[in-house]
Structure 1
């Protein structure tokens, strides 16, 4: 295990380069944003050194300066991000700005990436530093730039979930990196907020923050190579084709295997099989009619549910077929309920229904999945090349599965959170290990 010493070198507020016009001072969020927790999501990008040892210090200062100036310009385009949350559905666009921290660690980038240890990720995340969070004064966009002794850097951005799902984060990254590289026409966001779906007054008492009881869970990383995914697909393809007249996707086969193995470990721990549900987040933008632009900023995601009541429902082909059927049904019947005058009631009804389902199925074990596959996060280039690795750390909830492309774009990297005891069993699961490599080197 490597030991890291880290030190925050500087902290400052970054204001938008042009003030927000007075008629835009209050930004009302959409109903879907109002329902989202006021927690910060994070994403960290790791970049190798681009310089000789002599110029590492100067190089870091230049990068830092460039990032700060480009954040200031980007905030003018994404003006609500420079404001402060007033309540669960309102942002005061007061230009108080984003927050920026510089840090350094005493190891080389290659030492960390050779086998990333997630309990060391705190050194790179601005939100885990108490003083940074105090001084950031409710900032919705916080960035930390960390230098390694070799000249490599990590850029962590922490963004409020109130205004951004992963698609919105991507739009922000594309715009910010374009400004950083001096491009004249960065991507501009569609800030539609309440114009899409007005928030509900009866929800105004909803807390804008979220308290989650700390559970004892651990996070682990597993990588599926392209050849192993092909093997998995081959295992289910015939039955899937017969039933669905198409082929399963990479995400479907990997997710089905992970869910199946997680449930098997739960059974191993408790001694009996219990019913289980998997919630998968869907990007609604292109699935509504008419569709929303991909650059729409906010939370335009909603989960669909797949159920396994009995152990026989967890055979791999059945699971993958069931996933596809549930997804098609969601697209055909639910995706459009977010549009039009009936939308608020439909959404409130769906939430009520979900609440009742859980009350009636208290013994059901629930897993939640989000997939960032096909999001071009490896194209995040601030002007010194593409990242070696990107990662998002979940410290809030257990039983989650996050999927992302590997750097070669043809494999899948899975980050899982499970109860400690279940994870110890999961890491030994033979069916899983036939296809997945636990935490391989980023250079592998």
Structure 2
């Protein structure tokens, strides 16, 4: 597959947002997110058009529509058109989004039929190391790829400093709505950059031992990263929910049961790889918008994510056991439930900075205490869910995406090490899991009979049935 860059430019806001600040001050949660880009890739089939034949005029019209609507939507998402000034601030200078148009030599069907197509997805996003976000860097980058069949793939990189996954999804949906309604102001909700959390300045610098980003790095394994996708369709999730229910959690969610099964299977893999019975430390990103009372609207921009933490182990002889699925569901529910409205409220207002440092330190100390329970060490895996973000609703005027993906391989994929990303399927009933592990561990996981009894390994996106 050849990807030829046709043009590169900066798309600037069509006009200046009235009274928008020249400097956007990051919140305490924004500052301590990793300085990375969030990659999201949306695939659109030309077949969704009413035209029977490929018409370059239609493609050119769509490209024009994308650029014009992006320019208009940036009027309201002004930090997205700015530049990173330092770890505290974004310079809202309206210099624009880095925008690339590319031509792909094959059709979408040919792309998906390649046995290693997942490893080629990184060519469909801007050529930028995902882990690098230097001073004066772009806060948002877009690459629009035109396939030989007329299909389009829109690859985006959005700085984690200005948005989490939910915020990035809200931006894409707003851009799509603006494009879909003939460039009219089609916002259901305008973005809100007035964070409820204290904004950072030079006085808000938590000590090193309270930076939750240090939590993950200390437990990561070494080696080369391998990625596999596991599809759980609606029928499989129905069976999992039946097996995972208990008197404590009678109606587990699809995210809970899929996460719990993968917790169990990765714990088995880690122990097999190390030849030791080691506890497995689990962190799961939680969207605090839904935990607040009243809930924060989805239009709230910035970072609203926190980590729920759990440990898979038995107190019997201090040895790990392969716990039953209902027990794992209960553990996960308890961990996530601890991030409640009172927890979120503590981060708000003048006292939020001190509270943030306090709970960050507690989280790190709790993880360290878990690691100290055995002499053999601890395994680690991080889960994040993009389910219910509405990514399959992003419609630029020619239909909804046939597939939404993350990035399987990139210039630097270490951001995904020991990570699992849960994503919706097109119908919203299934879950597609992107699992990133050490190559040796992945070789074991992809043969796990219990996991494969509920999932399909690396399915062709054009044949997804859920």
TM-score (normalised: structure 1)? 0.90
Assess, with a 3 A threshold, how the Cα gap between structure 1 residues 388 and 229 changes in structure 2: closer, same or farther: same
Conserved 8 A contact 2:236-2:454: yes
Matched, 1:351 2:360: yes
Provide the secondary structure at the position in 1 that maps to 2:340.
helix
Provide the secondary structure at the position in 2 that maps to 1:16.
coil
Aligned equivalents of 1:351, 1:33: Cα separation in 2: 14
Question: Which of the numbers 243, 250, 255 marks the counterpart of 2:248?
Answer: 243
Aligned equivalents of 1:43, 1:440: Cα separation in 2: 19
Conserved 8 A contact 1:87-1:204: no
1:93 corresponds to which residue?
A: 92
Conserved 8 A contact 2:41-2:153: yes
Aligned equivalents of 1:128, 1:108: Cα separation in 2: 25
Deviation digits for residues 292-338 of structure 1 (CA, Å, limit 9, x no counterpart): 22200000111111112333363211101111122223326533322
Aligned equivalents of 1:23, 1:151: Cα separation in 2: 38
Question: Which of the numbers 324, 336, 357 marks the counterpart of 1:315?
Answer: 324
Conserved 8 A contact 2:268-2:322: no
Aligned equivalents of 1:332, 1:326: Cα separation in 2: 14
Deviation digits for residues 182-226 of structure 1 (CA, Å, limit 9, x no counterpart): 243313101114x5322253455999xx99998511111110111
Aligned equivalents of 1:74, 1:216: Cα separation in 2: 40
Provide the secondary structure at the position in 1 that maps to 2:307.
strand
Pairs within 5 Å for 1:151-166:
151-166=150-165
1:102 corresponds to which residue?
A: 101
Out of 172-181 and 358-367, give the one that drifted further. 358-367
Assess, with a 3 A threshold, how the Cα gap between structure 1 residues 252 and 102 changes in structure 2: closer, same or farther: same
1:372 corresponds to which residue?
A: 386
Conserved 8 A contact 1:288-1:335: yes
Pairs within 5 Å for 1:402-441:
402-441=421-460
**Ranges in structure 2 where 5+ consecutive residues have no aligned partner:** 315-319
Q: What is the root-mean-square deviation in Å for CA atoms of aligned residues?
A: 2.6
Provide the secondary structure at the position in 1 that maps to 2:332.
helix
Conserved 8 A contact 2:197-2:352: no
Assess, with a 3 A threshold, how the Cα gap between structure 1 residues 138 and 416 changes in structure 2: closer, same or farther: same
Assess, with a 3 A threshold, how the Cα gap between structure 1 residues 169 and 303 changes in structure 2: closer, same or farther: same
Aligned equivalents of 1:54, 1:87: Cα separation in 2: 46
1:217 corresponds to which residue?
A: 225
Assess, with a 3 A threshold, how the Cα gap between structure 1 residues 252 and 22 changes in structure 2: closer, same or farther: closer
- Aligned length, in residue pairs: 430
Pairs within 5 Å for 1:2-401:
4-20=1-17, 24-49=21-46, 50=49, 51-55=51-55, 57-114=56-113, 117-128=117-128, 138-181=137-180, 182=182, 183-186=184-187, 187-193=189-195, 196-199=197-200, 201-203=202-204, 215-237=223-245, 240=246, 242-244=247-249, 246-310=250-314, 311-312=320-321, 314-331=323-340, 334-360=343-369, 361=371, 363-393=377-407, 395=413, 396-401=415-420
Provide the secondary structure at the position in 2 that maps to 1:254.
helix
Conserved 8 A contact 2:282-2:383: yes
Aligned equivalents of 1:313, 1:338: Cα separation in 2: 36
Aligned equivalents of 1:20, 1:371: Cα separation in 2: 32
Aligned equivalents of 2:111, 2:58: Cα separation in 1: 21
Deviation digits for residues 139-160 of structure 1 (CA, Å, limit 9, x no counterpart): 2111101111111110111111
Aligned equivalents of 1:54, 1:141: Cα separation in 2: 30
Alpha-carbon distance, 1:22 to partner = 6.6
> Which structure shows the higher helix fraction?
1
Deviation digits for residues 387-424 of structure 1 (CA, Å, limit 9, x no counterpart): 10001226223111111111121111111101100001
Provide the secondary structure at the position in 2 that maps to 1:201.
coil
Provide the secondary structure at the position in 2 that maps to 1:120.
helix
